[in-house]
Structure 1
């Protein structure tokens, strides 16, 4: 077990990815940077996160600065990253750490788990990478590496427990943070989901799947069910160059984010018909249907949206609504699902 970790650390020292939130091998990283990057990296690629991380740390170079920022501003800058509950929890966690921990993250894994938006994985990652604690870190990349290393036969998610136990066995006491990041990099660069580069792997000789040649069979996953399709109509209302936007409720999907007023996003075989629109439209008016349809895939469903447009001569005061210049619509921080609608109209 010690040999596996040493081979991997030696490889990491020369072949690691150079990422803006990382510290040099053998040193601990800035805890604010580790936490921020780990929250951003949930369900999001490294390539996408780099630009957001650099933007956030430029706008808010410290945790205290982020905590002091209005949550609406944080949500606006988060737009495009998706999973917006992460942004709300990010701001909430920053405020808790700023007020209850004097702006410094606790090093203890159990205490970290109690903070908003921090689960088992993120707590372990912060404890090991930012504070040098021995913690068992298992993300998607590590899950793949360990399941192949041991040919773990259980299907996910049942396999998570034996995968974590196997990761625990090879996690060293010294340089635990570097080891976790080495495992992440190995999964991202070498032990990839398809066509893994086994000949370049520093721990190939220990890998059970490499010996049998069935690397791509692990981790074992049951076939995915087809995503259900939901359909809706969104309302594009203009007044003198301004567009009416809705501030969505704080709780729920895209909570607190701006968007277009829409009919409910429900699973159905056809789009809402004109007689259904008045109940959900911001005003009673004659709407014109745009022929094209926008599509967007969320984690658990696919959304298809038709757009109807209209213009009013008076600036209406609509509950939960606000007007924004259409020419600068991209500055308001629309989620991707609504940005697609903007592109269709403009």
Structure 2
């Protein structure tokens, strides 16, 4: 379908008509012409990154119960926020959530700015989230485009651009059909349609409110759009992770640096994650000595290997178990001794929960 034949005004009209009758009822939404609370929109959008609506709903309600306003969230201890976030993954989002709440409270008096430009300056808010908040909470005519909307636009216009390089061109097409009014409702409508109708696989073209405008309806080609560049093979990294336990059943943990993967989260110490077999004896010895000394530890063998996949690589960790001879021989400000039957009270990343399960398997001491 060529652009000069496309009836651009009909597209948003039909989308909004569908939304008024079929849009999902979600706890962070307002319908009937009312604007949603910016705090609710922001919180839900951060949670929905890399996570499904079904999973997010209970977390959203829990956060609102714990921290009803952005001020409450800003003044909450970071560890409390990380603990409440546990299970949603991508913990950098939680750290930025807390940091952003602080900026909104201290710099803006608890009121979110209402423009894309100002929102983009806040921690953890990128182009999509800024556009979504501005459109949904403040009715700004923003071009909101996420994976669902991207897919719809590519199919309707049968765009041949390949992701991710083709995103600017796709956004240009999306801008042509974004309405000046009700752009927030329009964006949420497209999200709903992408989730339930214009699905990645087996789209329900018969139920689509813009099927009459779509270039690929009934062509059998819908699943071929959007076009994607071939994925690069993920490398596999390996390391040794150490479980050091004292006579009182406490386990040694440390907090990762704030920046980077799993930043700010608690972890069982490990050698460096590298693209080779598990760490050499020398590397393991260096780690143990950095933790207080290999000569203070009794080697109790290994636990089953732990496998985990991150966005860009696979990881294999081999847990090695040690018992500490002298309970006070390891002292450091960045290390913590945690009772192993209370590990579930901490915001451990999924990877570290897997390590704990591997070491404690068969002991029935911990449900993680």
Match of 1:253 in 2: 261
After superposition, the CA RMSD in angstroms is 1.4
Match of 2:336 in 1: 322
Mapped partners of 2:32, 2:315: distance in 1: 44
Matches within 5 A, 1:66-145: 66-145=73-152
* Higher Cα radius of gyration: 2
| Contact residue 82 and residue 91 of structure 2 kept, 8 A | yes
SS in structure 1 at match of 2:305: strand
SS in structure 2 at match of 1:225: coil
Mapped partners of 1:307, 1:206: distance in 2: 56
Gapped runs of 5+ residues in structure 1?
Answer: none
Mapped partners of 1:171, 1:295: distance in 2: 44
Alignment length (residue pairs): 345
Mapped partners of 2:285, 2:128: distance in 1: 46
SS in structure 1 at match of 2:172: helix
Match of 2:5 in 1: none
Mapped partners of 2:153, 2:14: distance in 1: 15
Give how far 1:258 is off: 0.5
Mapped partners of 2:162, 2:216: distance in 1: 15
SS in structure 1 at match of 2:228: coil
Mapped partners of 2:249, 2:343: distance in 1: 11
Give how far 1:250 is off: 1.2
Structure-2-length-normalised TM-score: 0.90
Give how far 1:312 is off: 1.6
> Is 1:332 the equivalent of 2:346?
yes
Give how far 1:291 is off: 4.5
Give how far 1:222 is off: 1.4
Match of 2:309 in 1: 297
> Is 1:23 the equivalent of 2:30?
yes
Mapped partners of 2:76, 2:187: distance in 1: 32
Match of 1:178 in 2: 185
Give how far 1:287 is off: 2.5
Provide Cα deviations, 1:123-163, integer angstroms capped at 9, x if missing partner: 11000101111111000110111111111101011221121
Match of 2:156 in 1: 149
**Mean CA deviation greater in 196-205 or 36-45:** 36-45
Give how far 1:112 is off: 1.0
Provide Cα deviations, 1:151-207, integer angstroms capped at 9, x if missing partner: 110101122112111111111122111100000111111111111111111111111
Mapped partners of 2:324, 2:144: distance in 1: 55
**Mean CA deviation greater in 163-172 or 77-86:** 77-86
Give how far 1:267 is off: 1.1
| Contact residue 289 and residue 306 of structure 1 kept, 8 A | no
Q: 1:262 is matched with which residue: 266, 270, 278?
A: 270
SS in structure 1 at match of 2:237: strand
Give how far 1:290 is off: 2.4
Match of 1:345 in 2: 359
Give how far 1:319 is off: 4.4
Mapped partners of 1:291, 1:85: distance in 2: 29
Mapped partners of 2:154, 2:250: distance in 1: 54
Give how far 1:211 is off: 4.9
Provide Cα deviations, 1:58-111, integer angstroms capped at 9, x if missing partner: 111100000001222222322232222222221111111111111000111111
Mapped partners of 1:320, 1:249: distance in 2: 10
Mapped partners of 1:292, 1:151: distance in 2: 49
Structure-1-length-normalised TM-score: 0.96
Provide Cα deviations, 1:209-251, integer angstroms capped at 9, x if missing partner: 2153300111100121111000011111112121111111112
